[in-house]
């Protein structure tokens, strides 16, 4: 599936819930399924700045696809990272760079986060895109 | 006893009616506001005073000859008198209006730059808010003075014996909070002030967290500086108070230059205005100062003794109920506390709990509460902090307990 299709799936999944408590429960479940970062990459240089809880993200190329792994010390944050990774992982860096993040607005995630967490979300997206830029230059 | 409790409950109902915001819903649930240590809510009386100011007599003060300016000046200076009476300062010019506690601390810390020499020592406590650490660190960097720290114990109390060992004739300033914002511990400031004065050191007490709960008598305390913020005492944001003993305020140089703070100005020489105007450069927060006075009148009409005993009841009730949740740990277990409960649940990040309870209409603070040294001491990323004020109820605490239980079952 391409990024657009995955994002469409996520939008549909989130629209099935009646209220935000259910959506949070779902995010917590997603958090538990997050592809975990190898302990050796859980170092300060992989921490995302601008998050109030700790978030580590690692990226590596498998063939021409960029694969993300991550972890956080807060479970809801893990859920948020899991949603992003599902949308962007295992994709070509140039596709990641071109992809928009409209789906975040469509599932209403940002407005249901505290301002500090919403900032963290922006930082996470920025970091995934930074990795994509870095690996894109390797592929070129 | 029972009758007294009923009377109190009756008062609380009336009191709650004074706070329009307490009627609102958040995420479909009635608001439970337990973030009072960050900012308190505002009673209608204070809101009315703000509206009255802008509707009827908004004008710049101290220099106009016209009627509005005179009215605004009279009310602003009357508010200063109200603050003076509240804190029992000897003179009204010992009351400096500031933009808040942080401003007051910076004003004093910056003034001490001209009074300290290399090798002098300043003492801070381990329980401080960043706003009472950073300005003094900056002062030490500037002057070459040495920063020493009064350590804390596991209960979140200061180790006073260690403080006495830190004191010497090199000690020039001691600064600490009256009440810890992260834990609610009430510090033994009487003892600390007495001991510091024995070596001739000045003492600044950050009263931001104490002032909403404890009426400090600056003369009885014999404290040199006491700072607080209106917005934690049912007043508006952007206004606060610095009390300073006249002799100390005269010793400190002005903090900011501008209008209001001068006596005469020429390009050769400016002479500064007398207290309190020396420290009130520019147009002050006139409306804020007036509304602060109204907020103090409001709280004093209820009575700080009644407030303290009711909040203690809330603290005990909340502590007992929350501790029944398995895996819940309270940080700050001193017997002398204001109504603050800082806690974590084993294996769950405080942000996660804060996020879920917010969805249930409950406002708590999560994080390090701008007191990272305390979090480092306990080796935790932060806590969930529920802080109560006199308009809160036991029923609201029950809602918090249920919400935390629900969050726990979701998150574990």
Distance from CA of A82 to the nearest CA of B (A): 15
Are B244 and B225 in contact, with CB atoms under 8 Å apart? yes
User: Which among A6, A27, A30, A51 is annotated as catalytic?
Assistant: A51
Interface test with B, best of A25, A74, A114 (most B CBs within 10 A): A74
pLDDT of residue B3: 43
Contact B349 A73 (CB under 8 A): yes
pTM for this one? Answer: 0.90
User: Percent of chain B scored above 90 by pLDDT?
Assistant: 85
Supply B334's token pair: 């001193």
pLDDT of residue A138: 85
Please, what are the domains in chain B? 2-43+303-411 (3.90.1150.10), 47-300 (3.40.640.10)
- The string of pLDDT tens digits covering residues B194-251 is 999 999 999 999 999 999 999 999 999 999 999 999 999 999 999 999 999 999 999 9
- The string of pLDDT tens digits covering residues B118-142 is 999 999 999 988 888 889 899 999 9
- The string of pLDDT tens digits covering residues B64-115 is 789 999 999 999 999 999 999 999 999 999 999 999 999 999 999 999 999 9
Pairs across A and B, CB distance < 8 A: 42
Q: Name the residue among B355, B356, B338, B336 with its Cα closest to residue B406.
A: B356
User: Which among B140, B234, B287, B370 is annotated as catalytic?
Assistant: B370
pLDDT of residue B271: 79
Confidence label for B6 from pLDDT (cuts 50, 70 and 90): very low
Contact B381 A77 (CB under 8 A): no
Distance from CA of B357 to the nearest CA of A (A): 10
- The string of pLDDT tens digits covering residues B209-221 is 999 999 999 999 9
- The string of pLDDT tens digits covering residues B145-155 is 999 999 999 99
pLDDT of residue A96: 95
Nearest residue in chain B measured CA to CA from A80: B352
Within 8 A by CB and 6+ apart from A50, the residues are A119, A120, A122, A123
- The string of pLDDT tens digits covering residues B268-312 is 777 778 899 999 988 999 999 999 999 999 999 999 999 999 999
Integer Rg of chain A from CA: 14
Considering only CB atoms, which chain B residues are within 8 Å of A77? 349, 351-352
pLDDT of residue B249: 96
pLDDT of residue B412: 86
pLDDT(B183) > 90: yes
pLDDT(B8) > 60: no
Within 8 A by CB and 6+ apart from B351, the residues are A52, A53, A74, A76, A77, A117, B366, B367, B382
Contact B352 A21 (CB under 8 A): no
Measure CB to CB from residue B411 to each of A28, A53, A73 and give the nearest one: A28
Confidence label for A51 from pLDDT (cuts 50, 70 and 90): low
The mean pLDDT of chain B is 93
ipTM: 0.83
| Residue whose pair of structure tokens reads 């629900």 in the numeric block | B406
pLDDT of residue B1: 41
Separation between Cα atoms, residue B161 and residue B167, nearest integer Å = 10
């Amino acid at each position: 599936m391409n990024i657009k299709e995955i994002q469409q799936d996520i939008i549909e999944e989130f629209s099935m819930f009646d209220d935000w408590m259910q959506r949070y429960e779902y995010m917590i479940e997603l958090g538990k399924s997050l592809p975990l970062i190898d302990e050796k990459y859980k170092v300060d240089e992989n921490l995302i700045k601008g998050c109030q809880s700790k978030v580590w993200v690692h990226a590596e190329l498998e063939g021409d696809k960029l694969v993300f792994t991550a972890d956080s010390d807060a479970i809801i944050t893990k859920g948020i990272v899991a949603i992003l990774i599902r949308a962007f992982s295992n994709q070509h860096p140039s596709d990641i760079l071109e992809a928009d993040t409209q789906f975040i607005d469509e599932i209403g995630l940002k407005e249901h986060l505290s301002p500090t967490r919403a900032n963290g979300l922006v930082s996470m997206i920025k970091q995934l895109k930074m990795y994509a830029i870095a690996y894109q230059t390797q592929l070129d | 006893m029972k009758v007294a409790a009923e009377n109190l409950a009756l008062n609380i109902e009336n009191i709650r009616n004074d706070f329009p915001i307490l009627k609102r819903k958040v995420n479909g649930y009635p608001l439970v506001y337990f973030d009072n240590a960050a900012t308190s809510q505002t009673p209608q009386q204070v809101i009315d005073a703000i509206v009255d100011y802008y509707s009827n007599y908004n004008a710049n003060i101290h220099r106009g000859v016209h009627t509005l300016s005179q009215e605004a000046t009279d009310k602003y200076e009357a508010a200063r008198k109200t603050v003076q009476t509240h804190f029992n300062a000897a003179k009204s010019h010992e009351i400096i209006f500031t933009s808040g506690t942080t401003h007051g601390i910076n004003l004093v810390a910056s003034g001490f730059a001209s009074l300290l020499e290399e090798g002098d020592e300043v003492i801070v406590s381990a329980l401080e808010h960043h706003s009472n650490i950073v300005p003094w660190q900056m002062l030490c960097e500037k002057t070459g003075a040495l920063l020493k720290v009064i350590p804390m114990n596991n209960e979140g109390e200061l180790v006073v014996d260690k403080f006495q060992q830190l004191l010497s004739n090199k000690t020039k300033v001691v600064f600490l909070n009256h009440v810890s914002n992260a834990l609610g511990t009430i510090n033994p400031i009487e003892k600390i002030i007495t001991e510091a004065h024995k070596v001739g050191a000045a003492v600044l007490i950050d009263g931001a967290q104490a002032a909403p709960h404890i009426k400090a008598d600056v003369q009885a305390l014999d404290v040199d500086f006491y700072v607080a913020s209106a917005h934690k005492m049912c007043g508006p944001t952007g206004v606060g108070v610095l009390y300073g003993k006249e002799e100390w305020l005269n010793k400190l140089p002005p903090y900011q230059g501008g209008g209001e703070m001068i006596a005469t100005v020429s390009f050769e020489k400016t002479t500064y205005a007398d207290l309190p105007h020396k420290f009130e450069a520019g147009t002050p927060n006139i409306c804020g100062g007036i509304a602060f006075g109204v907020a103090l009148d409001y709280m004093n009409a209820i009575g700080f003794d009644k407030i303290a005993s009711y909040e203690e009841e809330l603290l005990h009730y909340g502590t007992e109920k929350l501790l029944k949740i398995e895996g819940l740990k309270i940080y700050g277990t001193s017997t002398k506390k204001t109504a603050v409960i800082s806690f974590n649940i084993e294996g769950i990040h405080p942000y996660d709990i804060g996020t879920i309870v917010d969805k249930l209409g409950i406002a708590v603070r999560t994080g390090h509460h701008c007191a990272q040294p305390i979090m480092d001491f306990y080796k935790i990323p932060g806590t969930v902090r529920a802080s109560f004020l006199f308009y809160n109820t036991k029923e609201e605490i029950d809602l918090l307990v249920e919400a935390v239980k629900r969050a726990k079952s979701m998150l574990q």
